[in-house]
Amino acid sequence: MRILHTSDWHLGRTFHRESLLGAQAAFIDHLVETVRAERIDVVAVAGDLYDRALPPVDAVRLLDEALRRIRDTGARAVLISGNHDSMVRLDYGSGLIDAAGVHLRSSLDGVGSPVLIEDGHGPVAFYGIPYLEPELARPYWGLSERGHPAVLGHAMDLVRADLAARPAGTRSVVLSHAFVTGGSPSDSERDISVGGAAHVPAALYDGADYVALGHLHGRQRMSETVRYSGSPIAYSFSEEHQVKGCWIVELDRDGAVRAEFAEAPVERPVARVSGRLEELLADPGLESRTGHWLEVTLTDPVRPERPMERLRERFPHTLHLVFEPEDAPGAGDRPWAHRPADRAESDLVFDFVDWARGAPASAEERKLVRTALEELRIKEASA
């Protein structure tokens, strides 16, 4: 069986207020052509189909078109919801469209019940584990332990129990949206640390022939059989060196895996450049960057006049400016604009309290902030 593993489409996302819908549509064109050219049997999409729980109408239309075109090739599609999606909204109508060969798995009660897809060697069981918000999944399953390892561990116990009851030699593929220990994040993933431990070990997925992961936006191989496909296009400047695309996975009659990465075309690359304004405007070596989305760090000792307007005369797609004067005190520190990227939401609140009041938040205040953020996350996940 030939499987195309993709994830983190984030349809409807913008990049520094620039629409990415055109680039996302171009990726769908590439994906459909790859499915046809590579004779793909199943397209596995490991979550974050949309960028938010209430996606814009154009994003909904694009997903509808993508699924229709995938089915027109003859391939089936198995999809799960991610932490950016609404489980409830994506699950609506899923039972009806199963018959069309599009299998959405976006509910807790479906975990452990596979989609069975046949090839010439028998059935392959596709188990969809949507993003599991710990404080929704824990009471649903009656678990005492908090955090992602507990709920994902229980989900995999359900998968293994179902697989054990099937005929010997039944092959299995798990789709999961999670942060596996050892993975490398970028600046564009939403923090999922509220609600207990966020990372899960790769060994948690033992027993599956292949694990198609979503959530982290860079392609990564956690093991030969546990992989992230990454997002199809860059959603932050931290992804400037990432190669985007999909894994093409071949599952043989015994469940052995062979995988190769199919690169996706890049409509407009992202890049970071740094230096004094006049040097950047005159440097012939930067000519190749004129068509990129750019984050520019200016190192002039004194902030230049009209820097964005002047930069855009040469680099019309400059989106973000950072000022780091060469000789300023603490110039080696990370700029404030970058500091929030790898911080939990609660830590940012505590930083602000410390800055505004001149004293750190008390233990009671910290508990209150974490509880409030957790309630907001649960409210959003159940919307």
Please tell me what DSSP assigns to residue 360.
P
CB atoms within 10 A of CB 182: 11
- The distance from CA 125 to its chain's CA centroid, rounded to whole angstroms, is 24
Please determine, for residue 19, whether its predicted confidence score (pLDDT) is greater than 70: yes
Q: 203 is written with which tokens?
A: 């060994």
- Taken in order 196, 202, 206, 208, the sign of the CA dihedral is positive
86 near 54, Cβ under 8 Å?
yes
pLDDT of residue 329: 58
Q: Which residues pair with 221 in a beta bridge?
A: 227
More confident residue, 377 or 366: 366
Please determine, for residue 227, whether its predicted confidence score (pLDDT) is greater than 70: yes
Count of positions (residues) in the chain: 383
pLDDT-derived band at 78, boundaries 50, 70, 90: very high
CA gap 305, 292 in Å, rounded? 23
Q: Identify residue 19 by its one-letter amino acid code.
A: S
Spell out the residues 6+ positions from residue 275 whose beta carbon is closer than 8 angstroms to its own: 283, 297, 298, 299
Please determine, for residue 33, whether its predicted confidence score (pLDDT) is greater than 70: yes
Q: What is the mean pLDDT of the segment spanning 233-241?
A: 95
Mean pLDDT value across the chain: 91
CA gap 207, 185 in Å, rounded? 26
258 near 224, Cβ under 8 Å?
no
Instruction: List, for residues 326-359, the tens digit of each pLDDT value.
Output: 876 554 455 555 555 556 788 888 888 877 666 7
pLDDT of residue 331: 44
Residue among 97, 226, 104, 224 nearest 156 (CA)? 226
3-state secondary structure of 141: helix
Please tell me what DSSP assigns to residue 54.
S
pLDDT of residue 375: 81
Q: 22 is written with which tokens?
A: 């055109």
More confident residue, 362 or 247: 247
pLDDT of residue 358: 66
Of the listed ranges 151-165, 253-267, 318-332, the least confidently predicted one is 318-332
pLDDT of residue 193: 62
Q: What is the mean pLDDT of the segment spanning 159-178?
A: 97
Please determine, for residue 145, whether its predicted confidence score (pLDDT) is greater than 90: yes
Instruction: List, for residues 81-116, the tens digit of each pLDDT value.
Output: 999 999 999 999 898 899 999 999 999 999 999 999
Q: Is residue 288 exposed (0-12), middle (13-18) or buried (19+ Cβ within 10 Å)?
A: exposed
Q: 140 is written with which tokens?
A: 């649903």
CA gap 44, 172 in Å, rounded? 13
Please determine, for residue 197, whether its predicted confidence score (pLDDT) is greater than 90: no
More confident residue, 304 or 226: 226
pLDDT above 90 coverage of the chain, percent: 77
CA gap 31, 77 in Å, rounded? 12
- The structural domains of the chain, with segments of one domain joined by +, span 2-263, 270-338, 343-381
More confident residue, 191 or 360: 360
Select from 3.60.21.10, 3.30.420.40, 3.65.10.10, 2.40.50.140 the CATH code of 2-263.
3.60.21.10
The structure tokens 């599956």 sit at 208
Please determine, for residue 14, whether its predicted confidence score (pLDDT) is greater than 60: yes
More confident residue, 68 or 302: 68
- pTM (2 d.p.): 0.85
pLDDT of residue 340: 59
pLDDT of residue 190: 76
CA gap 12, 235 in Å, rounded? 12
Spell out the residues 6+ positions from residue 216 whose beta carbon is closer than 8 angstroms to its own: 179, 180, 183, 184, 185, 186, 189, 228, 230
Q: 31 is written with which tokens?
A: 């994906």
Q: What is the mean pLDDT of the segment spanning 217-234?
A: 97
pLDDT of residue 342: 53
pLDDT of residue 347: 83
Please determine, for residue 377, whether its predicted confidence score (pLDDT) is greater than 90: no
Please determine, for residue 383, whether its predicted confidence score (pLDDT) is greater than 90: no
